[in-house]
Chains A and B, each alone.
Chain A
């Protein structure tokens, strides 16, 4: 059944981006930067890092679009706007409908169909807001039931989005350590460990399609004190053989990223994407995306408008 659908190809706007086939086939993403990583599938955890205002939340919003299966959205930052999601979905559906109309596949007007597709997409998008780490962990625990229920209906969840994972970093760091052997305490390490454990559990539950976890994180930049400060740059080079273009640039401009998330989270993620914003000459702001892990040398640049991301180069 699944193979048949795959062979039939794109049928409706809903099927536009997905390729349901054998379990290991990846989800074809819409966002151009994501397309570089072919076969982004359920066992990956993607971290999108960037300074404030570099369109991370937009990016996560773009990632959801015509995926088959539901999306669990954990909003820890309060940056979510339902109306923006609706506009994006409508724009994409119209685009797809127009494209197919031009190709001559369908003759009749797809407006009603578009409405239905929009509704279906919206029904599959589950959203919750959390104001502390404990609320986040309890939301993760209660999402297990949702996951199981959705799987029995046939439509499992494919993506889990966390915006942003570092929202309670400072709160947890300053929480007093309760002490005592074997006593769990709300410290940064403890909270992160619990979060990672729950995410792994959710991923295990959503076999075999897997659950793609996407998280956004605000980067902290610290200034480079001196050029002879070799040990700091040496540490950063450990993970990569190739110096990415970003690193060279950042050393020149005197800013270095500081990795502040605990080790348990850093080991959990498999991919990292860095977003930066550059103010162009005109009124538009350019954003650049660069894969840090795995390190690719290409840097994509794009702008944002009502219909989503527009690639400006390449």
Chain B
């Protein structure tokens, strides 16, 4: 939040600024916290004008109010889509796939297949939607070879590369649009997510060809569990949740993040949709999906 003299508002003369400083208001942030509208009545005209100007500045900085009618129009214009997960039964469970603008949480114990699902979703979105995918890997479980096999399967089968001419190129293109980031700590994670938000906000304006539509964080609990156990730790976890939601809502990404199930009691339900993975036995996976909207538990057997 800038200091009061930086926006260059004319009514903020040095005298007025000194007046504010005497009350301890040196920046816009201080003004927001300390300004009491009730006391304005007894002040001078110049002071009242200064307050009005500052409020105008704040108004211009904030994103403002929208009516729900306009929001609906925006959604219809953009055509918010569902991203296919690469697995039909999962798509049916999610009523179409991962929805842009939502944060989905994938929960499961150890080796329940979370990374496999994440890679499958990445492959499917990169290939079918021709979109960029960001894959944040915190537990070093990403495997490019496995991903190329999955893409091979999507393109047309294991021997598609031999059978079809352009298949290798398609696989190559899809692999190029999956960006892999290795982050093992909460602070680089937060800084990366903030940077991503800034980059994507600019990218939309320049209308480049491939836009990032999906962000996968596998697995979020590895960076969160070491820091939990105190107020700052909890605050960092909440900040990460907030920045993920911001990425989803402002940049229209579908965010998928995987978590270990032991963490689930501690993590506040930031996600809008939760998927619980349980391993029953090879080679099947059982999904129990409970969403906040319907709060129904649905069981689906998924053959891998």
Query: Which residues does A use to contact B, with CB under 8 Å?
Result: 52-53, 72, 77-79, 82-86, 119, 122-129, 131-132, 134-135, 137-139, 141-146, 167-168, 170-171, 173-174, 180, 182-186, 190-191, 193-194, 197, 201, 218, 277, 279, 283-285, 304
B242 contacts A194, C-beta separation under 8 Å: no
Instruction: List 7 interface pairs A-B (beta carbons < 8 Å), by A numbering.
Output: A128-B64, A170-B234, A174-B231, A180-B24, A183-B24, A184-B24, A194-B33
B23 within 8 A of A: yes
B65 within 8 A of A: yes
**A122-B72, A138-B58, A197-B36 as given contacts; A285 in contact with B63, CB under 8 Å:** no
Q: Which of B280-304 contact A (CB under 8 A)?
A: 292-297
Residue of A83, A174, A182, A194 most packed against chain B (CB within 10 A) = A174
Q: A138: which B residues are within 8 A, CB to CB?
A: 32, 58, 61-62
Complex CA–CA separation, A185 to B30 (angstroms): 7
B129 within 8 A of A: no
Query: How far does the Cβ of A114 sit from chain B's closest Cβ, in whole Å?
Result: 15
Which range holds the interface residue count of chain B?
35 or more
A83 contacts B75, C-beta separation under 8 Å: yes
Query: How far does the Cβ of A129 sit from chain B's closest Cβ, in whole Å?
Result: 7
B246 within 8 A of A: yes
Q: A167: which B residues are within 8 A, CB to CB?
A: 242
Complex CA–CA separation, A194 to B248 (angstroms): 29
Q: A143: which B residues are within 8 A, CB to CB?
A: 65
Complex CA–CA separation, A285 to B58 (angstroms): 43
B164 within 8 A of A: no
Complex CA–CA separation, A119 to B68 (angstroms): 9
Query: How far does the Cβ of A170 sit from chain B's closest Cβ, in whole Å?
Result: 4
A190 contacts B63, C-beta separation under 8 Å: no
Partner of A137, one of B33, B234, B238: B33
Interface of B is mostly: helix
Partner of B65, one of A72, A84, A86: A72
**A137-B32, A173-B235 as given contacts; A53 in contact with B295, CB under 8 Å:** yes
B33 contacts A185, C-beta separation under 8 Å: yes
B67 within 8 A of A: yes
A82 contacts B75, C-beta separation under 8 Å: yes
B111 within 8 A of A: no
Q: B202: which A residues are within 8 A, CB to CB?
A: none
Complex CA–CA separation, A135 to B23 (angstroms): 22
Q: A86: which B residues are within 8 A, CB to CB?
A: 68, 72
In the complex, the chain B residue whose C-beta lies closest to that of A166 is B268
Query: How far does the Cβ of A160 sit from chain B's closest Cβ, in whole Å?
Result: 12
Q: B237: which A residues are within 8 A, CB to CB?
A: 170
B46 within 8 A of A: no
A190 contacts B33, C-beta separation under 8 Å: yes
A82 contacts B37, C-beta separation under 8 Å: no
Complex CA–CA separation, A186 to B28 (angstroms): 12
Partner of B68, one of A122, A134, A304: A122
Partner of B32, one of A122, A123, A134: A134
Complex CA–CA separation, A129 to B34 (angstroms): 22
Q: B1: which A residues are within 8 A, CB to CB?
A: 134
18 extra interchain contacts, Cβ-Cβ under 8 A, other than A125-B69, A145-B59, A284-B296?
A53-B295, A83-B72, A84-B293, A86-B68, A122-B68, A122-B69, A126-B67, A127-B65, A127-B71, A131-B245, A138-B32, A170-B237, A171-B239, A183-B24, A184-B24, A193-B33, A194-B32, A285-B296
Query: How far does the Cβ of B208 sit from chain A's closest Cβ, in whole Å?
Result: 26
B32 contacts A141, C-beta separation under 8 Å: yes
Complex CA–CA separation, A53 to B69 (angstroms): 27
In the complex, the chain A residue whose C-beta lies closest to that of B234 is A170
B78 within 8 A of A: no
B37 contacts A135, C-beta separation under 8 Å: no
Complex CA–CA separation, A126 to B66 (angstroms): 5
B67 contacts A124, C-beta separation under 8 Å: yes
B229 within 8 A of A: no
